[in-house]
Structures are given as structure tokens and as C-alpha cells.
Amino acid sequence: MALLYWLIATIDWTQFARTVRAIPGQRLAAGLLVAFLGQLLCAWRLRVLLHAQSVDVRYLFCVRLTFLGLFAGNFLPSTIGGDAVKIVLLARQGVGTAVSTLSVAADRLLGLAAFALLLPTVLTAPHILGLQSFENSARVAGLVAVAGFAAIAGLVFLLLRSSKSRMAASSGRGRFANMMSTVTSTLSRWTKRPGDLLFAMAVSLAAALAGIVSVWIQAQPMGLSLTLIDFIAVYALVYFAALVPVSLNGVGVQEMAFVYLLPRLGANPEQAMALALMARLFLVVISLPGAIFMVRGSSPRASAPVR
């Protein structure tokens, strides 16, 4: 909440209103469409990962699952709260707990990896981070990328270690051995199908770029001249900042990151806030199909045998 109060006090809301009114309705509609297509790509990525596990689900099932998780994530900590919803719904469809958990975790990690691969775009605009040279920019970008991948690896290690401790304490060695056998078997299926993983990674990059472009095309009507490469650099940094679990779905953190970074590319605070709220608005609006599925009171059906 402190972040939101700071943002409210910083912005000239009269100027902000003029900035937003300059955006044509067609641009907003196009942005929403591109953002929606990005989520359809995310659903496709999840289906590819499940298919590699011999889990036979239809694409529509993954679409509904994706939007349910996206909507639930609006009310849960950080930007990954909706993943728990996906795991529960997959398990209810008969997919094993280990396969459900690892598939959703792999889906999330591929999303993180896509944005990590976009981080080197910071090299094209070192002043975004207050750096004045390519050399310093390269060093920082490299450190950020290494730190990002190390954080992902650390998270996986801690999850496995936590699972190991809980299972060993509650169920003894036999049950833990069975669980680890299931985990190993699940991971080995992906390693035996590298083509599926590469394809899922390509889809993940396309989905990330769709989300970025949906907001970037709103910049020009505001009078803001931003190259796509520069905005990709900003958005990638904002994405990782929003992962810090200090607010619901990164609210406040994401907006503050935009307001901090975009003025380094020539935006005023009102333009930066307008783009930040466009990103937030698109996320909320495209999650509304998940609200419809939730109100209907039925979880998505796989519409096919899951194994």
C-alpha cells in the first residue's frame, strides 16, 4: 500500500488524464487483442508440456485452465499465485499430483526463461539502469541474467528439498522414495523429448513479446517515442521486479518500476504511469473469461482421457 500512496502523490493526475485521453480506442482494442492472443499462446505452451508427459488434454481445456489461473492470480500474492489453482484443477482431472505440479512449474519456469532471454536488450540502452557505457551495461545485464537463472535453480532446489523433508517426516522413506521416483520419471520424459521443450520455449517467447507489444503500441499516441527494443528492456526488468511477493499480483511494484525506468527513456511520470496502468488494465480485462468460468461453478473438463 505504501507504494501506491507514493505513486498517487507523485503523479499529476490532470496531466495523466490528458495523456490517457490521447489514446485512440482502436489502439486500446488492438492492445487487448494482442494481449489475449498472448494468453492463448500460454495455454498452448501448457498443452505442449502436458502432452510430453503423455497427458492427453484438449487445447480448450488448457485455455480455460490458463484463464482461471490468470483471474485467480489477481487476488493472490506475487504473479504466481494462480499456478496453485492450475495444479489443483489438473489434479481434479486425474492428472497425478507430481505431474500436475511439475508441469505447472515448468510452464512458469519457461515464462521466466523467456523474459530472462529478453534481458540482454538492456545492452542497447544502458542509461535505463543509470549506466553510461556498453561495458558497464553488459556487466550488469550478465549479472542480472545469472542471478535470474540462479534464483530459478534455487527455487527448484528449495521446493524439492522442502518436499523431501515433508514426505520423510510424515510418511517415511518408502513413500518419499515413491514420490522421488515419480518426479524422476516425469522429468525424464521431458529430457527424452527436447523438441517439445524447444517448441514450448519458442511459444513462451512469442507469448512474452505479445504482452509487451500490446502495451508498447499505446506509447506513440501519448507523444512518447520508444523503440520496441527499449521497451522490451524496460518490460523485462519490470516483470522480474513484480515477482517480488510483497503485494497482490505485484500491484504497486510493477507500477513503481515503470515510473522509475521509463523517464530514463524520455517519458514523463504521467506517461510512465499511463503505460503501467495499461499493462495492469489489459491483465485484468483478459483475465475476465476466468471469472466467467469460476462463476459458472464448474472446473474445466479435459474432454479426453488424461493418460
pLDDT tens readout for residues 70-99: 998 887 765 567 888 898 889 888 888 888
Q: Is 126 part of any domain?
A: no
* pLDDT, average across residues 203-232: 93
Out of 21-25, 143-147, 152-156, 179-183, the most confident range is 21-25
Q: Is 253 part of any domain?
A: yes
Question: What per-residue confidence (pLDDT) applies to 253?
Answer: 85
Predicted confidence (pLDDT) at residue 230 exceeds the cutoff of 70: yes
* pLDDT, average across residues 278-293: 91
Sign, CA dihedral 114-115-116-117, equals positive
pTM value is 0.78
Predicted confidence (pLDDT) at residue 136 exceeds the cutoff of 80: no
Instruction: Give pairs for 80-86: CB < 8 Å, separation 24+.
Output: 80/108, 80/243, 81/248, 81/249, 83/107, 83/108, 86/46
DSSP H or E stretch at residue 208:
helix 194-216
Q: Is 151 part of any domain?
A: no
Q: Is 286 part of any domain?
A: yes
CA distance 75 to 52: 31
Q: 3-state DSSP call for residue 248?
A: strand
Question: What per-residue confidence (pLDDT) applies to 297?
Answer: 63
CA distance 294 to 288: 10
Question: What per-residue confidence (pLDDT) applies to 66?
Answer: 94
CA distance 38 to 206: 7
* pLDDT, average across residues 50-57: 88
Question: What per-residue confidence (pLDDT) applies to 67?
Answer: 94
Predicted confidence (pLDDT) at residue 174 exceeds the cutoff of 80: no
Q: Is 163 part of any domain?
A: no
Question: What per-residue confidence (pLDDT) applies to 163?
Answer: 47
CA distance 236 to 112: 10
Mean pLDDT of the chain: 80
Q: In terms of residue numbers, what domain contains 228? A: 29-117+193-295
pLDDT category of residue 190 using cuts at 50, 70 and 90: confident
* pLDDT, average across residues 5-17: 81
Q: Is 184 part of any domain?
A: no
Q: Is 138 part of any domain?
A: no
Percentage of residues in the chain having pLDDT higher than 90:
36
Question: What per-residue confidence (pLDDT) applies to 305?
Answer: 46
Q: Is 213 part of any domain?
A: yes
pLDDT category of residue 134 using cuts at 50, 70 and 90: very low
* pLDDT, average across residues 199-228: 94
Split into its structural domains, the chain has a count of 1
Segment among 61-65, 166-170, 219-223, 294-298 with least mean pLDDT = 166-170
* pLDDT, average across residues 142-157: 55
* pLDDT, average across residues 276-295: 90
